Amino acid sequence: MADWQKITGGITAPRGYQAAGITAGLKPSGLPDLALIFSEVEAIAAGVFTTSQVKAACVEYCRQRLQAKQSARAILCNAGQANAATGTQGYLDTLESAMAIGQALNIPSESVLLASTGVIGQRIKMDALRSGIPKVVAALSETGSDAAAGAIITTDLVTKSIALETTISERPVRIGGIAKGSGMIHPNMATMLAFVTCDAVVSPHLWQQMLARAADRSFNSITVDGDTSTNDSLIALANGQSRTPAITGWGAEAEKLEAMLTAVCQHLAKAIARDGEGATCLIEVEVTGAHDEISARQIAKTIAGSSLVKSAIFGRDPNWGRIAAAAGRAGVPFEQENLQIKLGNFLMLENGQPLQFDRAAASAYLKKAATGAYLQEDTVLISVNVGNGHGSGKAWGCDLSYDYVRINAEYTT
């Protein structure tokens, strides 16, 4: 049993946070497009960002800010324009955005972190942003998580939010999170936007380490289409308002906090993979028997990211050969005669030898997942064992449908 419970409230469930989401006129659709997360006190801040050589201005800004100062009070996110590959002027727009929201909140601009999502090559519509900032500040609320979650999405079909609570030193500690992502999803950190809030007291160095490991076990273990974005940002704040003793070193309390942080990130990551553009189901790949966790995750990510595996799942074709082929090209050594593959409860390969199985029933299993309840009964499970090692790992993806091509063929038109 997990040592925490799910609660309501999203990113405003932890103490001392407010959030808002409004329509500022940044999106051509007229949908909500400007979100703000605000901590009532200075919070320890950590971040993990895209590894792409083409980075959005907000990514460069946040990396520099967090290197100079590992704390923040506000996160401003605009949707509609990625402000990536926009040159010097794009970066100046980012600096102006931080100064404007800092002035509106009466905090230093150095305490502001930024994120953007939308079309690459388009600058932020600064006139709309300038007029929207007073409105989003005025809309801040302790119940504003849902509005913020709705204001950061682009091609997403659903918003993504979660909050968990545990007990540390006999006091409740909470972590909440929201995320966006549907396309351009591939594990290279992290190909989406995610914002996490926490009310624990934790040292900056420890919080950054926890977040990096949580990212590897969640956002860096999902894939939709094999494309890494220019704007990937995972930002986490910890403001200490739970009034628990400070966690400054490794121990039981640090392990509990990191486990809950990882659970929040994994929930959001799976929600992103399930909401993959055109997807009809979530694919969860679990690999066991590898030399170590990193090797197991590498095999799992390769299988989850295989276009042939994804296409077979969409076609409700229990073609285990594609799973075996993907595992074999993952770059992780293993003995073929040790390979075992299961699709759901259907054992298809054992000790490297194919087995007879009910193909019609296996196909029906895939069809049932496509009509199952969201993030409950809509998951196709692929289990792969590669040996007798202690390493295990998971990755998540989605099937590849006709609609993925349609959505992306029309993205800017």
Q: How far apart are CA 54 and CA 318, in angstroms?
A: 38
Q: Which residue has the tokens 């956002």?
A: 219
Q: How far apart are CA 242 and CA 301, in angstroms?
A: 36
Q: Which of 335, 334, 349 is nearest to 382 (CA)?
A: 349
Q: Which residue has the tokens 């040159």?
A: 87
| Packing angle of the helix pair 293-305, 307-314 (nearest 10 deg) | 60
The rounded Cα 247 to chain-centroid distance in angstroms is 25
Contacts of 353 (CB under 8 A, 6+ apart): none
248 carries an active-site annotation: no
As to burial, measured by CB atoms within 10 angstroms (0-12 exposed, 13-18 middle, 19+ buried), residue 185 is buried
The rounded Cα 347 to chain-centroid distance in angstroms is 31
Q: How far apart are CA 198 and CA 177, in angstroms?
A: 9
Q: Which of 24, 84, 32, 35 is nearest to 58 (CA)?
A: 84
The number of helix segments (H) and strand segments (E) in the chain equals 11, 15
Answer for the pair 272, 179: CB distance below 8 angstroms, yes or no. yes
DSSP label at 201? -
Specify the 3-state DSSP secondary structure of 156: coil
Answer for the pair 244, 201: CB distance below 8 angstroms, yes or no. yes
Residue type, 102: G
* Candidates 23, 117, 191, 288; catalytic one: 191
Write the CA distances from 395 to 63, 251, 271, 293, 411, integer angstroms. Answer: 27, 27, 13, 12, 27
Q: How far apart are CA 326 and CA 345, in angstroms?
A: 20
Q: Is the previous residue joined to 325 through a cis bond, with omega within 30 degrees of 0?
A: no
Q: What are the residue numbers of the active site?
A: 191
